[in-house]
Amino acid sequence: YLALCLSPGLIKLLPKPGAWMETLKQALAFPLLLTVVFFVASIDTDHRIATLILLIVVWFACWLIGRVPAYAERARLRAAWLTGIATIAVGAFVSFSFFGPITSELKWIPYNEVQLSQLRQEGKTVMIDFTANWCINCQINTRVAIDKKRVAELVAENDVVPMLADWTGRSEEIRQKLEDLQSNSIPLLAIFPPDPAAEPILLRDLLTESQVVEALKQAGPSRGKSKLTSAYD
């Protein structure tokens, strides 16, 4: 544009308007999308998913606003902008509240089969959360059902050992454990009672906080840990 302003005669060198302009407009979208990939990759892991969700929400809000032509009545334009802004505000709250970093209520230790066997021989109640960064249902379970204050209080009261089986990297040890538990997918929450011979309590798919609390009470406290009167009874 600057070149044409300085030398208007250069406009003769431009191709005539036509269907190619629409094709060029669409083709230029792909470099822009690759730019999004570049910037999202530079965001730290804890905030990456939340930011990507917010970008999609902003995209959707712009689409809503763009559906109302600029020559429309002022009331329609105002309503479109208010709807778009409200959509972005709600999207920002939801994305960073549910998909951003969380402060853990539980003191997780990494899953290890040797340590699990040792803990079971000692009569410990063990809770294993099989999860992965790429598993959306796992992330939802962590935030709304597992890593919650009520669960953490019951875990501390019953001397339960919380173990985190992070399958993000497709660990062979975790895959083998899932196979032993007759599960081919995650999310999976396995609670092992203090009796080494007892079968684990398995909770699959999306969970609620009450389900986790009930399963922990069913498993019981670790051996040597007296059962205290609980507000959940």
Q: Give 12 or 232, the one with higher predicted confidence.
A: 12
Q: What is the pLDDT of residue 125?
A: 96
**Tens-digit pLDDT profile for residues 99-120:** 777 778 899 999 999 999 999 9
**Tens-digit pLDDT profile for residues 202-225:** 999 999 999 999 999 999 999 865
Q: What is the pLDDT of residue 225?
A: 56
Please answer whether residues 95 and 50 qualify as being in contact, where contact means their C-beta atoms are separated by less than 8 angstroms.
yes
Q: What is the pLDDT of residue 230?
A: 36
Is 50 exceeded by the pLDDT of residue 32? yes
Q: What is the pLDDT of residue 226?
A: 41
Secondary structure, 3-state, 68-117: CCCCCCHHHHHHHHHHHHHHHHHHHHHHHHHCCCCCCCCCCEECCHHHHH
Is 90 exceeded by the pLDDT of residue 58? yes
List the end-to-end C-alpha distance of the chain, in Å, as a whole number: 74
Is 90 exceeded by the pLDDT of residue 156? yes
Is the link from the previous residue into 187 a cis peptide, with omega within 30 of 0? Answer: yes
Q: What is the pLDDT of residue 228?
A: 39
